[in-house]
Amino acid sequence: MHIGILALQGAFIEHAKMLDRLNVEHHEIRCLEDLKKPMDGLIIPGGESTTMSKLLLDLNMFDQLQEMIIHGLPVFGTCAGMIMLADSTSNNHVKTLRTFKIVVKRNAYGRQLGSFYVTSEILGIGEFPMVFIRAPYVESTSDEVEVLARVDGHIVACRQDKQLATAFHPELTDNTALHQYFLNMCE
């Protein structure tokens, strides 16, 4: 098992540490060559979606990455990573990969003072610690999307075939259950 971690900007090292704890090999993806190395799955971390989107385009990685996901590469997006996968954003447009049939609201909980922590139930995993940092949530989904978790009625975790997305940051906790869930999807 080998996982690629998109490392253009944001909290990619935190994901690498989670994979280390699960004894899974990984490499950082910062340019087109890195994207072409073999991998069984890809993680798109938290950070700023406008920055990641711009860098994917500037570094000629956008089309290749989109192609790989459409052709079945398993992918896990957290926070900004969820936005990057989304079909569209309902506010504050940013160019996304549009592989995941969800509409995402950016900065849905407001500015940094709106950031929060909560524990809540994830389908198939159970009670899970959720860290929301200037987080988005999912406003609507198409039928092929399975909702895995809601907080205050809003969708914060979901899955569509080989794609997994969370509005919160499992990589900021010491709970590896969601990463393990993703690794199972990559097998």
Partner 1 sequence: MTHTRYELNKELAQMLKGGVIMDVTNAEQARIAQNAGACAVMALERIPADIRKAGGVSRMSDPKLIKEIMAAVTIPVMAKVRIGHFVEAQILEALEIDYIDESEVLSPADDIYHIDKTKFKVPFVCGAKNLGEALRRIAEGAAMIRTKGEPGTGDIIQAVRHMRLIQSEIRRIVGLAEDELFEAAKTLQVSLDLLRFVHENGKLPVVNFAAGGVATPADAALMMQLGAEGVFVGSGIFKSGNPEKRAAAIVKAVTNFDKPEILADISEDLGEAMIGTNEEEIDLLMAKRGE
Position among 36, 116, 124, 144 found at the interface with partner 1 (CB under 8 A): 116
Among 3, 4, 5, 9, binds partner 1 (CB under 8 A): 9
Q: Which of 15, 26, 158, 171 is an active site residue?
A: 171
Q: Which stretch binds partner 1 (CB under 8 A): 9-17, 18-26, 64-72, 154-162?
A: 9-17
Tell me if 122 contacts partner 1 by CB under 8 A.
no
Shortest spacing between CB 89 and partner 1, in angstroms: 10
Q: Does 145 bind partner 1 (CB under 8 A)?
A: no
* Calpha distance 159→146 (Å, rounded): 5
- Asked whether position 58 contacts partner 1 by CB under 8 A, the answer is yes
Pairing of strands 75-78, 41-44: parallel
* Catalytic residue IDs: 79, 169, 171
Enumerate binding residues for partner 1 (CB under 8 A).
Answer: 7-14, 30-31, 46-48, 50-51, 54-55, 58-59, 79-80, 92, 94, 106-107, 110-113, 115-117, 119, 129, 131, 133-134, 169, 172-173
